Amino acid sequence: MATEPDHGVEVQVRAHAGRPAEVLIEAARDADLLVVGHRGRGAFRSVALGSVGLGCVLHAPCPVLVVPVPTTPPTAPTAGTATVRTAR
C-alpha cells in the first residue's frame, strides 16, 4: 500500500466480512466523515451511485463524501489553487 504524507488526518484501514454498505455504516457510527469511492459503472455512469454508495448516503450516521474515480490523472496544484483539509 502506498504511503501518503500525514496532513493531520487520521485514516483507519480495516477489512470486515459482510454486506459492504452495512459494514461501512456500522464502522461510521463514531466517525466524523465517511469517504466512499464511486467507480461509475452501470447505465448512468456519471450520475447514479452504486448500491453501496447510495446505501451509505441514505443511512450513515455521519456526513458521507462520495469520491468519483478521476477521469484524468491528478496533477500538481498550480499557482492560484488551494486544497483545504481540516481535522479534529
Rg (CA), the chain: 15
Q: Give me the pLDDT at residue 17, please.
A: 92
- CA–CA separation, 6 vs 88, rounded Å? 14
Q: Length of the chain, please?
A: 88
Predicted confidence (pLDDT) per residue in 20-54, tens digit = 999 999 999 999 999 998 876 655 554 567 889 99
The pTM of this model reads 0.62
Q: Which three cell numbers stand for residue 10?
A: 487520521
50 alpha carbon, distance to own chain's centre: 13
Q: Which three cell numbers stand for residue 63?
A: 456526513
Q: Give me the pLDDT at residue 13, please.
A: 80
Predicted confidence (pLDDT) per residue in 76-88, tens digit = 666 555 555 555 5
Q: Give me the pLDDT at residue 1, please.
A: 47
